[in-house]
Amino acid sequence: MRKILLVSTQRVGSNALRSILASNAGIVDVGEYLGSRHPRGLHTVLAASIREDPGFVPDAPRLRKVFERAMRELDGAFPAAEIGIVACKYNAFGPFNPYGWRLTEMPALLGFARKARYRVIHMLRRDVVGAYVSAVRASRSGQWHLQRGADAATADVALVFEREAFIAAIRLRIREMQLFRGFLAPGAEVIELVHEDCLVDGSLSDAAAAALESLLQRKLPLRGPAAYVRNPQPWTDSVGNLAEVRSWLAEDAELSRALEAMGALRG
pLDDT of residue 39 exceeding 90: no
Q: Please write the tens of the pLDDT for every residue from 128-179.
A: 999 999 899 888 877 676 665 555 555 667 899 999 999 999 999 999 999 9
- 69, 45 Cβ separation under 8 angstroms: yes
- At residue 67's C-alpha, the angle toward residues 63 and 69, to 5°, is 115
**pLDDT at residue number 37:** 79
Number of domains present in the structure of the chain: 1
**pLDDT at residue number 265:** 82
Give the rounded distance of the alpha carbon of 211 from its chain centre: 18
- 236, 216 Cβ separation under 8 angstroms: no
- 65, 71 Cβ separation under 8 angstroms: no
**pLDDT at residue number 209:** 92
**pLDDT at residue number 189:** 95
* Spatial distance between the Cα atoms of 264 and 127, rounded to a whole number of angstroms: 10
Q: Please write the tens of the pLDDT for every residue from 191-243.
A: 999 999 998 877 899 999 999 999 999 877 887 777 766 666 788 888 999 99
Q: Which domain, by its residues, includes 38?
A: 2-263
Helix count and strand count (H, E) for the chain:
11, 9
Closest residue by Cα to residue 190 from 5, 24, 3: 5
**pLDDT at residue number 223:** 75
Residues contacting 96, CB < 8 A, separation 6+ = 34, 42, 46, 63, 107, 108, 109
Instruction: Identify the CATH number of the domain in which residue 227 sits.
Output: 3.40.50
- At residue 48's C-alpha, the angle toward residues 46 and 54, to 5°, is 95
Q: Please write the tens of the pLDDT for every residue from 68-106.
A: 999 999 888 888 899 999 999 998 888 888 877 887 889
Compute how many other C-beta atoms are within 10 angstroms of the C-beta atom of residue 206: 10
**pLDDT at residue number 153:** 54
